[in-house]
Chain A
Amino acid sequence: MVKQVDLIGNEEKEMTQPAIKNVVFIMLDTLQYNYLGCYGNTTIKTPNIDRFARNGFLFENAYSEGLPTVPVRRALMTGRFTLPFGGWQPLAHEDTTVTDILWGRKVQTALVYDTPPMRLPKYGYSRGFDYVKFCPGHELDHTINQDDALDPGMKAIDYTTQTMVYNEKGELIDDASAALLKEIDCFLKIRQHWRSEDDNYISVVAGEADRWLRDIRIKTRPFMLWIDSFDPHEPWDPPSVWTKEPCPYNPDWKGNPILLAPWTPVEGRITDEECEHVRALYSENVELVDKQIGKLLNSIRDQGLWDETMIIITSDHGQPMGKGEHGHGIMRKCRPWPYEELVHVPLMIHVPGLEGGKRIKGFVQNVDIAPTILSALNLYEENNSLDGGHGFPVYGCIDMQGQNLIPLMKGEVDKVRDFAIAGYYGMSWSIITEDYSYIHWLLKNASQRDYANVNTPGKEIMKNEAMWSCTAGAKQEVPEGDELYDRRKDPKQLNNIIAQNEEVASDLLKQLKLYIGELKTM
């Protein structure tokens, strides 16, 4: 037990918690967990993140619940599951975010980001931050320079493979071909102005975060800094593409660089060799992200903040990039498929005052981040005791459904939940236990445009009363097409064993429905 001055005021409180003054939350979008050395990768060089993990707490079984980018941010900021309630949609008035709760507190808040889906018009994911710095240009914001002239030495088609774009007659294969060329063209119009590695998206975001820490924040106040880097999200544009050197992870590749590939199933469109090269370029991007995050972590140390700042590093999801364990047959998130390569995420935390070097096996979810941040700041209260004054409400954490992870890191509890859930709102649900993973399809072959849409068809599916009730006499049937995997023997979900294990499947489906229904009623 230590005594500490409460951040709200001057009253001393008995605390069982380490002395954490600040929080830095680092989101690295699309960072697939098994591309990091600390999660078992033996070829990709990520020494900085590996060292961070080695000295802190690494969560082996962290899962994002509602996918992809936007619902993940909503869950992270509110501590509430999204899967039962909504998908890709703006932050709502009824949502209570970490920054809403921190309003009127001593803790100053900052958001440094280049994640364009958070910046979509009316989406409001920068709500409540005292300081907001958006670094422009990444995917979805990539049209800002589309009317500029492009260096005549750069052509979009030279940065992908001809056969992904054109058929034998030299015609565009489909809408995905045109979209791909436009996406590359827009990126090149930004990329042509870069002069050094410092211009890369991740370098700019890390640099701006460091600038806020060093020069902008009020140094007498504690802080919560949210860094949201869209890298290592595609385009796959690591240094070797521009130095014309072989990619260190696929040095024998003779074709064009593949900055981007179409949002499609890979069969008949993207060869195995091309998928392999995409993964190699992505690996090199991960290495670059590690280098820049390493510089930022070093700066946090140099500024004397390490021993008073909790630092969280995580991602929102991985990335399908090919067949089998690499993507179950798709490139990019063109289908709402909640397989391991997408939903299993890295999560590592440095906690001042707690001895790290621990790997935690218990299931955790992204909804646990918000309660952990507020608990670290000693500001987790169900109903807020702060006097807002002037009749304005001050919000507490009563709506949060996630769990504070500090007791788990302190070893006071072995687990905070027995299983994890994941999926796309109204399209796919998954339950992941120690023994099995089960996937329940609501709408399997929807496209990216269907799920990344506030008017997703998932909305109507979730409204269907039959989803939330049973008829008298009816037995719980496991629907045809659902999938079951043995998580111990087949962690990459390659061998569907549902036909031989109907009883297990039925129990898991029941458990999944019970839990999502329970969340809906909370």
Chain B
Amino acid sequence: MFLGLQAPTTSKDTVKMESLTDATYKERLAATDAGACIFIKKLCPHCKNMLKVLEKFSALQPGVSLMTIDIEENVESAKAFEAERAPTVLIVKQGKVVGSKAGLMNPKEMLAFYQSV
């Protein structure tokens, strides 16, 4: 427990999040019909919170693949999408990145963002 609330975790047991790298991101994103890919940084408190938001978002929008990229270990992919800050969420539809947003959103805002692009 964290302050009476569930501690923010990635809960990989319940929601599958695939980890991408500079070597794999191009092919994987191109093969994604519906996805959200998040640039994260180790020990970043905001990233921990956004991973939890993505889990809740995936319950609101089933069928969306969730992916992560470590922003510090994968400079090429971060540069390719102009992701300077973590967390930055990319929305992927029909193999193309159609939206990008840095910072925090709640699950409802994340859903609205996904549906707006």
Contact = CB atoms under 8 A, between A and B. Distances in A.
Contacts of A16: none
Contacts of A466: 85
Contact of B46 (A403, A418, A470): A470
Interface stretch (A109-117, A339-347, A512-520): A512-520
B49 A514 contact: yes
Interface string B1-17: 11111001000000000
A470 B85 contact: yes
A521 B50 CA distance: 8
Contacts of A416: 4
A168 interface: no
A514 B48 contact: yes
A521 B8 CA distance: 11
B23 interface: no
B4 A472 contact: no
B91 interface: no
Given A403-B4, A521-B106, A469 B86 contact: yes
Interface stretch (B26-34, B60-68, B97-105): B97-105
Contacts of A125: none
Contacts of B2: 418, 515, 518
Contacts of B45: 510-511, 513-514, 517
Contacts of A473: 72
> Chain A CB within 10 Å — which of B1, B5, B84, B102 has the most?
B5
Interface string A467-496: 111111100100000000000000000000
B88 interface: yes
Contacts of B46: 468-470, 513-514, 517
Nearest to A520: B104
A472 B43 CA distance: 11
Nearest to A475: B43
A520 B106 contact: yes
A517 B44 CA distance: 11
Contacts of B3: 417-419, 515
B53 interface: yes
Contacts of B104: 468-469, 517, 520-521
Contacts of A472: 41, 71-72, 75, 78, 84-86
Nearest to B105: A521
A465 B75 CA distance: 21
A508 to B, nearest CB: 12
B95 interface: no
Given A465-B102, A518-B5, A471 B84 contact: yes
A149 interface: no
B52 interface: yes
Interface residues of B, number: 32
Interface in B58-117: 71-72, 75, 78, 84-88, 102-107
Nearest to B101: A465
A41 to B, nearest CB: 30
Interface string A444-480: 0000000000000000000001111111110010000
Contacts of B44: 469-470
B8 A469 contact: no
B52 A521 contact: yes
B60 to A, nearest CB: 13
A470 B78 CA distance: 13
Given A510-B45, A517-B45, A471 B85 contact: yes
A401 B5 CA distance: 8
A468 B48 CA distance: 11
Nearest to A421: B3
> Chain B CB within 10 Å — which of A465, A470, A471, A476 has the most?
A470
A216 interface: no
> Chain A CB within 10 Å — which of B4, B5, B105 has the most?
B4
Nearest to B3: A417
B3 to A, nearest CB: 4
Given A470-B85, A472-B71, A473-B72, A514 B8 contact: yes
Contacts of B106: 520-522
A238 to B, nearest CB: 39
Contacts of A511: 45
A277 to B, nearest CB: 41
B102 A417 contact: no
A391 to B, nearest CB: 23
Contacts of A471: 84-86
Interface in A390-431: 401, 403, 415-419
A520 B5 CA distance: 13
Interface in A215-233: none
A366 to B, nearest CB: 14
A179 B50 CA distance: 47
B107 A521 contact: yes
Given A465-B102, A469-B103, 17 more contacts: A417-B3, A418-B1, A469-B85, A469-B86, A469-B88, A469-B102, A470-B44, A470-B47, A472-B75, A476-B43, A514-B8, A514-B46, A515-B2, A517-B45, A520-B49, A521-B53, A521-B107
18 contacts: A401-B5, A418-B2, A469-B46, A469-B85, A469-B87, A469-B103, A469-B104, A470-B46, A470-B85, A471-B86, A472-B71, A510-B45, A511-B45, A514-B49, A517-B45, A517-B46, A518-B2, A518-B52
Interface of B: 1-5, 8, 41, 43-50, 52-53, 71-72, 75, 78, 84-88, 102-107
